[in-house]
């Protein structure tokens, strides 16, 4: 069974890049009839916060990305310890004693000589006596995974195609700090094996991590999952933007963005498929295909998101929003008002125009007389806009803007807005007559 995972660290709120990764993993699993798992990577006890764990769950729920299971790395430490001991017994991990300052100096020297800043494996050359001496001095080692440098690391990437890395050009990664805490690499590989993850879809900034982790899977006697690395998001200006790192579900909610709009946009962002206002998630899932993903950075545009949001609202049925509308607003009112809104928050303003009170407009004398005549005519036609305007056209000779605009101004206090044929019945004949009479006074 196809099994994907989304593995955020609870050190902050999800941002738009995280959301896109979660969505694509959810879609990949759903299209294959598989499982989408949430893994909370909370091995960094100092930075991980329970409030962020709750926020991640809430954000996924708001987006409708319900996981089929959840794991927390903080509850799986025994698994990592067991894997570590096995790798140590097989000579695939080794202790290293350099300080952060010493490693930084080594990198600067290598860069100064025009060499890549790769760890020189000096710790491997230490004798047992030298290691014992360092530990006797109170120097606790950190631990590195020993890369096999005999063969290139290759895989067929679901987005980037054939990939090839020379392990001799990679540093042996640190997998465990001197205080015993874990870095990302080994626990992630152990979890993917234990959780049965078959497909890892993540950002292209993880490509070199994948090369290292493929060797970890091999060292742990497990087949690696299928890997795919999608292009990262950039801002509308075409550059990497810090702002994208702060755009999360809370920010989108504050802007009035519907979760369906965010899903519709991010589902196809960075692919050859058009971004469209598609409310039916099954349509998005059915069209999901890694072969459509491009290598160029995916451009996130606020204006495009707003366009998608507006289009979805204009097509949204009453039953989907009924619980979020002002009290007393029925289906007829929603259908009359929704073509004029950009976010659902706009509904309140238009509904106030229906329920009143409104400020009477300052009209010219001839328009005041016209509104007085309209009030008399409305007593006969009722709230039938077409009948009212047809009668006024015949009796006054007005047409076009002079016929319609003073009526709209008197009835709504606005120069524009919802179709008056739909709005007038909502206002009601009695209230409309009173507004016309106030405008005429």
pLDDT of res. 243: 76
pLDDT of res. 45: 86
Q: Give the predicted TM-score (pTM) of the model.
A: 0.90
pLDDT of res. 246: 78
Q: What is the dihedral of CA 389, 392, 394, 398, to 10 degrees?
A: -90
pLDDT in tens, 299-353: 999 999 999 999 999 999 999 999 999 999 999 999 999 999 999 999 999 999 9
Residues 86 and 161 in one domain: yes
Residues 383 and 414 in one domain: yes
Residues 265 and 400 in one domain: no
Give 8 or 360, the one with higher predicted confidence. Answer: 8
Domain tally, the chain: 5
Residues 304 and 326 in one domain: no
Residues 16 and 59 in one domain: yes
Residue-range definition of the domain harbouring residue 205 = 3-69+186-234
Residues 298 and 163 in one domain: no
Establish whether 242 is an annotated binding residue: yes
pLDDT in tens, 243-300: 777 789 999 999 999 999 999 999 999 999 999 999 999 999 999 999 999 999 999 9
Residues 294 and 329 in one domain: no
**If DSSP states are collapsed to H, E and C, what string results for the chain?**
CCEEEECCCCCCCCCHHHHHHHHHHHHHHHHCCCEEEEEECCCCCCCCCHHHHHHHHHHHHHHCCCCCEEEEHHHCHHHHHHHHHHHHHCCCEEEECCCHHHHHHHHHHHHHCCCCCCCCCHHHHCCHHHHHHHHHCCCCCEEEECCCCCCCEEEEECCCEEEEECHHHCCCCEEECCCCCECCHHHHHHHHHHCCCCEEEEEHHHHHHHHHHHHHHHHCCCCCCEEEEECCEECCCCCCCHHHHCCCHHHHHHCCCCHHHHHHHHHHCCECCCCCCCCCHHHHHHHCCHHHECCCCEECCHHHHHHHHHHHHHHCCHHHHHHHCCCCCCHHHHHHHHHHCCCCCHHHHHHHHHHCCCCCCCCCHHHHHHHHHHHHHHHHHCCCHHHHHHHHHHHHCCCCHHHHHHHHHHHHCCCCCCCHHHHHHHHCHHHHHHHHHHHHC
Residues 311 and 322 in one domain: no
- The answer to whether residue 74 sits within a structural domain is no
The CATH code of the domain that includes 225 is 3.40.50.620
- The answer to whether residue 181 sits within a structural domain is no
- The answer to whether residue 310 sits within a structural domain is yes
pLDDT of res. 240: 60
pLDDT in tens, 229-257: 999 999 877 666 667 777 899 999 999 99
């Amino acid at each position: 069974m196809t099994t994907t995972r989304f593995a955020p660290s609870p050190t902050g709120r999800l941002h738009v890049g995280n959301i896109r990764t979660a969505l694509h993993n959810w879609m990949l699993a759903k299209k294959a009839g598989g499982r989408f798992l949430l893994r909370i990577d909370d091995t960094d006890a100092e930075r991980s916060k329970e409030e962020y764990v709750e926020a991640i769950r809430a954000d996924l729920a708001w987006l409708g990305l319900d996981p089929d299971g959840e794991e927390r790395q903080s509850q799986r430490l025994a698994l990592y310890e067991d894997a570590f001991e096995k790798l140590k017994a097989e000579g695939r991990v080794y202790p290293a004693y350099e300080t952060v300052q010493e490693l930084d100096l080594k990198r600067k020297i290598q860069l100064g000589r025009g060499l890549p800043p790769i760890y020189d494996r000096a710790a491997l050359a230490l004798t047992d006596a030298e290691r014992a001496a360092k530990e006797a001095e109170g120097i606790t080692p950190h631990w590195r995974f020993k890369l096999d440098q005999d063969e290139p690391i290759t895989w067929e990437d679901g987005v980037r195609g054939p990939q090839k890395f020379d392990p001799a050009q990679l540093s042996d990664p640190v997998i465990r700090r001197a205080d015993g805490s874990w870095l990302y690499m080994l626990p992630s590989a152990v979890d993917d094996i234990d959780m049965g993850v078959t497909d890892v879809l993540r950002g292209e900034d993880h490509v070199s991590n994948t090369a290292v982790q493929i060797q970890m899977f091999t060292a742990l006697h497990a087949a690696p999952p299928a890997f795919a690395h999608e292009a990262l998001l950039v801002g509308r200006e075409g550059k990497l933007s810090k702002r994208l790192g702060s755009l999360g579900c809370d920010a989108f909610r504050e802007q009035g963005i519907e979760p369906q709009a965010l899903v519709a946009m991010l589902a196809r962002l960075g692919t050859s498929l058009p971004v469209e206002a598609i409310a039916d998630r099954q349509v998005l899932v059915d069209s999901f295909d890694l072969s459509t993903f491009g290598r160029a950075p995916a451009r996130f545009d606020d204006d495009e998101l707003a366009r998608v949001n507006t289009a979805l609202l204009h097509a949204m049925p009453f039953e989907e929003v009924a619980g979020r509308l002002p009290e007393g607003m029925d289906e007829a009112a929603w259908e009359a008002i929704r073509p004029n809104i950009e976010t659902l928050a706009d509904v309140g303003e238009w509904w106030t125009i229906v329920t009143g009170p409104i400020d009477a407009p300052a009209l010219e004398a001839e328009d005041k007389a016209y509104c007085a005549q309209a009030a008399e005519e409305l007593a006969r036609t009722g709230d039938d806009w077409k009948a009212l305007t047809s009668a006024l056209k015949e009796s006054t000779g007005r047409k076009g803007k002079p016929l319609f605009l003073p009526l709209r101004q008197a009835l709504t206090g606005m120069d524009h807005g919802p179709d008056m044929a739909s709005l007038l019945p909502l206002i009601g004949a009695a209230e409309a007559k009173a507004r016309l009479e106030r405008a005429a006074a």
